């Protein structure tokens, strides 16, 4: 099945040149050049991830979960000692974030996740079914903060995918060597409620159906911007360690729409001509 996924990934890579250009440009911004092998590996990783999710019932043996998930990192024990009254977790579109949510259920952590439903109807139904099995409470992005606060106060872990371009709703902070407009919601929520903040991921290990699931506590000392920068730094460390497992398809480094309007853009959504400081700092 994985060989079929690889074939589909290669087909999509060559028949969708616009998307391929975005992937290549994002990688070039982060690494200085767009390595062809990394581009190819990125497509193949996410095709395999789709297989894992689409055929989860057949591929994962619920009686042998230790064979599928390697649960590591100081965050899990820290949660047992400090997070059971509610906490916040930040991750990204890295590895297999849906199965990361599954691990919370398997280790007994009630999870609520801020999310937007997938665009494809079939996949939306499939993901909804898996989230129901994993007992993940969905929080709509449109009204996220008040609902997230209520969930934390009910003793739940609230997870954010915090690597999307935030536009005017975020602040520009370094990520992978580039300015990236970043949401501050995870940091602000943890700071306001005085609860633990965690970062983590679930990455594929080898070619089998096995994932490494890591969590670690993140300090909430300082202001919201300083905390958000720490989260960016953690995610960057994760991506640098396994770059083919990050979602390079997204135009992560694009500035807010007001700074893109009327300008010629690169494949990554960045204006070709420099943005004057007078506009950038409005």
Alpha-carbon distances of 84 from 45, 66, 173, 203, 206, rounded to whole Å: 34, 23, 31, 25, 33
DSSP β-ladder status, 197-204 and 211-218? antiparallel
Give the ranges where 117-256 is alpha helix by DSSP (H).
121-133, 144-153, 185-193, 224-241
Per-residue pLDDT of the chain (282 residues; tens, 9 = 90+): 667 888 889 999 999 999 999 999 999 999 999 999 999 999 999 999 988 888 888 888 888 888 999 999 999 999 999 999 999 999 999 999 999 998 999 999 999 999 877 677 777 788 888 888 889 999 988 888 999 999 999 999 999 999 999 999 999 999 999 999 999 999 999 999 999 999 999 999 987 789 999 999 999 999 999 999 999 999 999 999 999 999 999 999 999 999 999 999 999 999 998 777 666 655
| Angle at the Cα of 265 from the Cα atoms of 264 and 266, rounded to 5 degrees | 135
């Amino acid at each position: 099945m994985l060989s079929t996924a690889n074939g589909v990934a290669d087909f999509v890579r060559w028949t969708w040149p616009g998307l391929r250009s975005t992937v290549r440009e994002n990688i070039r911004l982060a690494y200085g050049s767009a390595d062809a092998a990394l581009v190819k590996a990125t497509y193949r990783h996410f095709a395999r991830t789709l297989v894992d999710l689409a055929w989860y019932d057949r591929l994962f043996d619920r009686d042998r979960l230790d064979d599928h998930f390697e649960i590591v990192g100081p965050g899990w024990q820290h949660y047992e000692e400090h997070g059971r009254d509610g906490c916040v977790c930040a991750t990204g579109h890295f590895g297999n974030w849906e199965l990361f949510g599954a691990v919370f259920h398997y280790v007994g952590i009630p999870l609520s996740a801020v999310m937007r439903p997938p665009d494809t109807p079939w996949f939306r139904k499939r993901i909804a079914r898996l989230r129901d099995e994993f007992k993940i409470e969905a929080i709509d992005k449109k009204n996220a903060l008040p609902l997230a606060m209520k969930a934390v106060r009910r003793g739940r872990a609230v997870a954010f995918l915090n690597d999307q371009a935030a536009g005017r709703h975020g602040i520009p902070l370094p990520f992978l060597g580039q300015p990236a407009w970043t949401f501050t919601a995870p940091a602000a929520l943890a700071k306001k409620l005085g609860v633990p903040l965690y970062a983590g991921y679930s990455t594929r290990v080898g070619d089998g159906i096995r994932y490494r699931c890591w969590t670690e506590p993140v300090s909430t000392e300082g202001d919201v911007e300083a905390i958000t920068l720490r989260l960016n730094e953690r995610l960057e460390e994760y991506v640098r360690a396994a770059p083919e497992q990050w979602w390079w398809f997204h135009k992560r480094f694009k500035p807010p729409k007001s700074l893109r309007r009327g300008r010629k853009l690169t494949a990554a959504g960045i204006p070709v001509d420099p943005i004057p400081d007078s506009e950038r700092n409005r």
